[in-house]
Amino acid sequence: PFKNIVLIFLLWVGSCIPLNVLGAAYGFHQEGVKHPCGVGRLPREIPVQRWWLSPPALYILPATFPFCAVFLELRFIFDSIWLGYVYYAFTFLAVVFVVWTITVMLTTMIMVYYMLAYGDYRWWWRSFIIAGGLGFHVYAFAIWFYFTSINITTMTGTLIFFVYMGFFAAAYGLAAGTIGFLTSYAFVHRIYGSIRID
């Protein structure tokens, strides 16, 4: 086993160090991001927002649409992980992934548009959390799956299930949040880049 550990370490070092150096060299030679318009020195007062633009609703409600696009496939994946079923519909999974990605992008763009339209300019972290709210939905789905489909009787098994599903939901939320933020950033950049001030 020691030889295998050394081999894995060498493979890791042999791939990470060159890629790190190449990425750093590429990043240092790039120009900085140029924003299409300036920012005022004093922050504007944000008007009272609609109830569906308040932070609790904003973090839970919009993520329902992308979750609806993926929950059935998520059930099949959970069945294959926890119940030992064979998962073989990878083509359908790819189609669902594309639909899910488009739904995350559109949902986040629409919510950021409404935030900007109603005078709330604090869209950076909110765009991440709007899409990242999918992690809460996935964890709630995992809790439902635990109580309806799995027969785990030991405390250790229960702990393993909820910890694994917590990590899975967090990774899922981070992936969705990244997609949502990058899409919103490109969207806002495009909106403010097309404004002509004469």
Question: Which pLDDT tens digits describe the chain residue by residue (198 residues)?
Answer: 899 999 999 998 999 999 999 999 999 998 887 877 777 777 777 777 777 777 788 888 888 999 999 999 999 999 999 988 888 888 999 999 999 999 999 999 999 998 888 887 888 888 999 999 999 999 999 999 999 988 888 999 999 999 999 999 999 999 999 999 999 999 998 888 877 665
Asked if the structure places residue 162 within a domain, the reply is yes
Residue with tokens 């991440």: 128
Q: What share of the chain is helix, strand, coil (3-state, %, to 5)?
A: 75, 0, 25
Asked if the structure places residue 152 within a domain, the reply is yes
* Predicted local confidence at residue 148, as pLDDT: 93
Sign of the torsion angle spanned by Cα atoms 50, 56, 57, 62:
positive
> In the numeric block, which tokens belong to residue 49?
């927002």
* Predicted local confidence at residue 7, as pLDDT: 93
Helices (runs of H) and strands (runs of E) counted in the chain: 7, 0
Sign of the torsion angle spanned by Cα atoms 113, 116, 121, 122:
negative
* Predicted local confidence at residue 68, as pLDDT: 92
Considering its fold, how many domains does the chain have in total? 1
Asked if the structure places residue 38 within a domain, the reply is no
Quote the domain boundaries for residue 119: 59-198
Asked if the structure places residue 198 within a domain, the reply is yes
Asked if the structure places residue 187 within a domain, the reply is yes
Q: Is the pTM of this model over 0.95?
A: no
Asked if the structure places residue 7 within a domain, the reply is no
Rounded to 10°, the helix 64-82/90-117 angle is 150
Asked if the structure places residue 45 within a domain, the reply is no
Asked if the structure places residue 29 within a domain, the reply is no
- How far is CA 43 from each of CA 39, 112, 119, rounded to the nearest angstrom? 9, 18, 11
> In the numeric block, which tokens belong to residue 153?
């009787």
Q: Are 66 and 138 in contact (CB under 8 A)?
A: no
